[in-house]
């Protein structure tokens, strides 16, 4: 189930000398990575450095280019040849534009590729295929305030009204401090696209034009933490000195952007971070960077940079009265894995991340001796007019995961469906319904 790396040498052969197993161009960068500032500010450079060091390059370091949100990672071969990777982090949409223009080998994005971008880039192959669309980390959009703001939680409807400018004072949402000052990422940002989709768009709202906009995540966070009346949204590693709020979506419980809730994508404003590798790519460094980032070494770098790695772990769940009785019993005797299987929209087929996660879950089950009736799958669904139908569909989704695990010798203890109970997102929109259609993995 692990990504198999195939080096397509093609036109590179006449111009290459080898560093490790990867070829080096005679001129120009070995790799050009463009797109998301969330990824490109720190995580992208960190995994590039990790790959270079893994390839045996020496003196790996960052160079400032003199252009905002751009940098160059440089290493040296044992015979003194310089190896360069260029990184530009101006927003997710710029990565796809660079692929189209032939100015990038790999796009970094903090939101899924849009239908229009997919169509425009069709000449590069299907960028929604499992090999092209690579989830490299999980992030949560944190809603941040000044650290002295006493407010503890908001729901997604309140957020939409605040950021659209309909709610203008803190007193309106049981806070204190007078007029609300809004802070947001710029139009090119995948962070902004995610907030627009998960919060504003679902309520039919638009961002208040008076909002202060930032290309830099760090600058936005620091500005909010210095403004007692400020509120902003930011990727999880950039909370810095600000205070993060608990978020409610529909009938979900209030959730802080905690690691376990983001790893399972239960937190309402969780999101996936992507590398998009064109299927017809001829740059072996791009393929190698994707493979390295998905490896255990790469995921350790993801965690070290403040994002949520996709490494599977078991976590205890404290039972409470809001859980169904059967779920409470499960939580008393078993532990939940930090991964949820989710499905393509309108389909019973596992999505691309779920296919990647199958390998990780299988590794965990086998390494911890859980193959013989030590695993329970628990399915959930979105609300239906017919509760019996919701119950059936939740169990069928769990059965779909069971079929995949059985192929690799896992004997399940139990498969259960809890229907539309315990939603993690509002069922009023497609995005929320997709999040509620999930399968949890529990181990004894």
Three-class SS string for the chain? CCCCCCCCCHHHHHHEEEECCEEEECCCCCEEEEECHHHHCCHHHHHHHHHHHHCCCEEEEEEECCCCCEEEEEEECCCCCEEEEEEECCCHHHHHHHHHHCCCCEEEECCCCCHHHHHHCHHHCCCCCCCCEEEEEEEEEEEEECCCCCCCEEEHHHHHHHHCCCCCEHHHHCCCCCECEEEEECCCCHHHHHHHHHHHHHHCCCCCCCCEEECCHHHHHHHHHCCCCEEEEEEHHHCCCCEECEEECCCCCCECCCHHHHHCCCCCCEEEEEEECCCCCCCHHHHHHHHHHHCHHHHHHHHHCCCECCCCCEECCCCCCCCCHHHHHHHHHCEEEEEEEEECCCCCCECHHHHHHHHHHHHHHHHCCCCECCEEEEEECCCCCCHHHHHHHHHHHHHHHHHHHHCCCCECCEEEECCCCCCCCCCCCHHHHHHHCEEEEEEC
Q: pTM score, two decimals?
A: 0.83
Report pLDDT for 20. Answer: 63
Q: Which of 195, 216, 241 is nearest to 42 (CA)?
A: 216
Report pLDDT for 437. Answer: 86
Q: Is residue 83 packed enough to be buried (19+ CB in 10 Å), middle (13-18) or exposed (0-12)?
A: buried
What are the C-alpha distances in Å from 101 to residues 40, 68, 179, 334? 19, 21, 44, 51
Given a contact cutoff of 8 angstroms between Cβ atoms, the answer to whether 272 and 39 are in contact is no
Buried b (16+ CB within 10 A) or exposed e, 99-113: beeeebbbbbbbbbb
What residues of the chain score a pLDDT lower than 70?
1-20, 345-348, 384-385, 427-432
Given a contact cutoff of 8 angstroms between Cβ atoms, the answer to whether 273 and 136 are in contact is yes
Q: What is the dihedral of CA 195, 139, 113, 285, to 10 degrees?
A: 150
Report pLDDT for 359. Answer: 93
Report pLDDT for 15. Answer: 33
Given a contact cutoff of 8 angstroms between Cβ atoms, the answer to whether 107 and 287 are in contact is no
Class for domain 10-132+277-304, per CATH? alpha beta
Measured CA to CA, the distance from residue 433 to residue 418 in angstroms comes to 15
Report pLDDT for 172. Answer: 94
Report pLDDT for 5. Answer: 33
Buried b (16+ CB within 10 A) or exposed e, 392-417: bbbbebbbbbbebbeeeebebeebbb
Measured CA to CA, the distance from residue 266 to residue 258 in angstroms comes to 10
What's phi and psi for 212, nearest 5 deg? -75, 130
CATH architecture of 312-443: 2-Layer Sandwich (3.30)
Measured CA to CA, the distance from residue 332 to residue 320 in angstroms comes to 10
Topology adopted by domain 139-261:
D-Maltodextrin-Binding Protein; domain 2 (3.40.190)
245: left (phi over 0), alpha (psi -120 to 50) or beta: beta
Report pLDDT for 1. Answer: 34
- Domain 10-132+277-304 matches domain 139-261 at the CATH topology level: yes
Report pLDDT digits (tens) over 147-200: 999 999 999 999 999 999 999 999 999 878 899 999 999 998 989 989 998 899
Q: Where are the domains of the chain?
A: 10-132+277-304, 139-261, 312-443
Instruction: Look up residue 220 and give its two tokens.
Output: 């936005």
Measured CA to CA, the distance from residue 175 to residue 149 in angstroms comes to 8
What are the C-alpha distances in Å from 369 to residues 317, 363, 378? 21, 10, 20
């Amino acid at each position: 189930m692990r990504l198999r790396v195939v080096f397509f040498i093609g036109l590179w052969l006449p111009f290459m000398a080898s560093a490790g197993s990867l070829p080096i161009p005679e001129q120009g960068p070995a790799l050009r990575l463009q797109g998301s500032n969330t990824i490109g500010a720190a995580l992208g450079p960190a995994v590039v450095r990790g790959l270079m060091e893994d390839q045996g390059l020496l003196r790996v370091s960052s160079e400032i280019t003199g252009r905002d949100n751009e940098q160059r990672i440089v290493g040296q071969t044992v015979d003194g040849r310089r190896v360069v990777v260029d990184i530009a982090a101006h927003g997710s949409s710029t990565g796809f534009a660079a692929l189209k223009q032939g100015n990038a080998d790999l796009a970094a994005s903090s939101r899924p590729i849009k239908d229009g971008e997919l169509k425009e880039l069709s000449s590069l192959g299907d960028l929604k295929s499992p090999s092209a669309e690579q989830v490299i980390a999980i992030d949560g959009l944190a809603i941040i305030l000044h650290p002295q703001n006493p407010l503890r939680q908001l729901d997604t409807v309140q957020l939409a009204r605040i950021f659209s400018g309909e709610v203008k004072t803190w007193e309106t949402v049981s806070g204190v401090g007078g007029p609300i000052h809004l802070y947001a990422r710029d139009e090119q940002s995948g962070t902004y696209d995610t907030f627009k989709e998960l919060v504003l768009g679902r309520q039919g709202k638009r961002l208040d034009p008076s909002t202060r906009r930032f290309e830099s995540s760090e600058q936005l966070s620091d500005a909010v933490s210095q403004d007692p009346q400020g509120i902003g949204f930011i990727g999880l590693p950039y909370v810095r000195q600000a205070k993060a709020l608990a978020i409610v979506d529909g009938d979900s419980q209030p959730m802080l952007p905690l690691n376990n809730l983001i790893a399972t994508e239960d937190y309402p404003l969780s999101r996936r971070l992507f590398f998009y590798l064109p299927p017809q790519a001829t740059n072996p460094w791009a393929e190698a960077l994707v493979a390295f980032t998905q490896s255990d070494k790469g995921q350790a770098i993801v965690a070290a940079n403040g994002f949520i790695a996709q490494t599977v772990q078991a976590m205890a769940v404290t039972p409470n009265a809001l859980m169904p009785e059967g779920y409470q019993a499960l939580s008393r005797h078993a532990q939940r894995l930090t991964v949820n299987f989710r499905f393509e929209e309108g389909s019973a087929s596992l999505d691309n991340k779920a296919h990647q996660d199958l390998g990780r879950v299988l590794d965990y089950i086998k390494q911890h001796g859980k193959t013989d009736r030590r695993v329970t799958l628990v399915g959930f669904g979105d609300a239906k007019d017919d509760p019996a139908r919701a119950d059936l569909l939740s169990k069928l989704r769990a059965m779909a995961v069971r079929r995949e695990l059985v192929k690799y010798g896992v004997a399940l203890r139990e498969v259960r469906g809890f229907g539309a109970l315990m939603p993690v997102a509002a069922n009023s929109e497609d995005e929320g319904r997709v999040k509620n259609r999930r399968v949890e993995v529990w181990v004894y």
